[in-house]
Amino acid sequence: MSTPDWSNLTFSYSKTNTILRTVYKDGAWSPVESLTDDNLKLSAFSGCLHYAIECFEGLKAFRGKDGKVRIFRPEENAKRLRRSAEYLGIEAPSVEMFVDMCKQVVKENIDFLPPYEVTGASMYIRPTLIGTNPQLGVQSSKECTFLMLCAPVGAYVGGALDAVDVVIARNYDRAAPNGSGSFKVGGNYACSLYSLNVAHRLGYKAVLYLDPRTRSHVDEFNSSNFFGIKGNTYVTPESPSILPSITNKSLETVARHLGMEVERRPVPVEELATFEEVGECGTAVVITPVHKLVDKPFLESEEETVYTYGDGKCGPKSLKLYNYIVSIQKGEIEDPFGWITYVE
């Protein structure tokens, strides 16, 4: 194994020692196998390939200041995967099995866990559940394969805490009003690709979607939740079509703990003009400050309204929240909320 270039990690695929696999068939999960080859053999008729019978999770492990290895809130991801699987009508691992496999994959790939000293680096864990029995008709898969994957990662875009420019897509949605937006299913990401590619070509790092029913309120970004800060208040959208972000919930808790007010409520687009700080939040992006937020009648149009936050650096309130959460993750401060699972 060659040692990863810790200081230049990006959010991208790299091969590690092992991946874990278990298959659900005839009412039971097979014993967890550890595979060194990350190429799978599966039926070309698997439901995941045809009907997107797939859901996944994303969480992170960190090497602490004390040398201990910490995973951030794996039970929450396990519960969310179970919710996504229920939506797809497929079997999912229990919370206990999920957490045990997270620990196992980190242990088996410990050489790929970035050192404590590297800012913004961690091991990203990607639990993945796919329908794998051969099928032709549209129906939930009876057999599923659950994979536990991981890779060392750095910042999702640029460097940690680099501010980004983002754009509202008024003529594209990532989810339908009564659709799958609140579930972490692969299909949602496929549905966001067209608008994301247009935005990338225009020089934006992410797309901000509006509520698909009225397009009058802020929903979320393609791979993260939205938050805004006004005075001492942390504001984040309440909407049935956004993914319930574990990072966002954690930030709300931290904000309250640090004496801020928290409002989770519908956020009208006009309110974007009133925030002092705006950011993306999520496991991959952690907190990514937004510098310019551009609203256009439609993504490809020249006409635009630009909201600018700060001077291109992370705002003070967002930075405080970021530092607090990262300090818990890296064992620099006590975890007052019981969010850490140790890998012994």
Binding site for ligand COI (CB under 6 A): 58, 189, 223, 282-284
Residue 147 interacting with ligand PLP (CB under 6 A): no
CA atoms within 13 A on the CB side of 74: 28
Q: Between 269 and 308, how does the x/- string for binding to ligand PLP read (CB under 6 A)? A: -------------xx-------------------------
Neighbours of 234 (CB within 10 A): 24
| Closer residue to ligand COI, CB minimum distance, 144 or 284 | 284
**Interface with ligand PLP, residue 141, by CB under 6 A:** no
Q: How far is the CB of 16 from ligand PLP (least distance, A)?
A: 20
**In Å, what is the CA distance from 89 to each residue of 43, 242, 338?**
20, 20, 31
Question: Is 212 one of the binding residues for ligand PLP (CB under 6 A)?
Answer: no
Residue 225 interacts, among ligand PLP, ligand COI, none and using kind-specific CB cut-offs from 5 to 8 Å, with ligand PLP
Residue among 41, 18, 244, 12 at smallest CA distance from 132: 41
- C-beta of 23 vs 314, nearer to ligand PLP: 314
Query: Which tokens sit at 69?
Result: 């290895």
Q: Are 293 and 273 in contact (CB under 8 A)?
A: no
Taking residue 111's Cβ as centre, other Cβ atoms within 10 Å add up to 11
Q: How far apart are CA 309 and CA 228, in angstroms?
A: 10
**Identity of residue 313:** K
Nearer to ligand COI, 11 or 116 (CB): 11
Residue 220 binds ligand PLP (CB under 6 A): yes
Instruction: For residue 290, give both structure tokens.
Output: 């937004």
Among 41, 65, 103, 184, the active-site one is 184
Residue 184 a catalytic site member? yes
Nearer to ligand PLP, 22 or 245 (CB): 245
In angstroms, give the least distance from the CB of 265 to ligand PLP: 18
Count of Cβ atoms closer than 10 Å to residue 337 Cβ = 12
Handedness of CA 201, 205, 210, 216 (dihedral sign): negative
Q: Which does 166 bind (CB under 5 to 8 A by kind): ligand COI, ligand PLP, none?
A: none
Q: Which residues are catalytic?
A: 184
Judged by the rule CB under 6 A, the positions of this chain that interact with ligand PLP are 58, 220, 223-225, 243, 245-248, 282-283
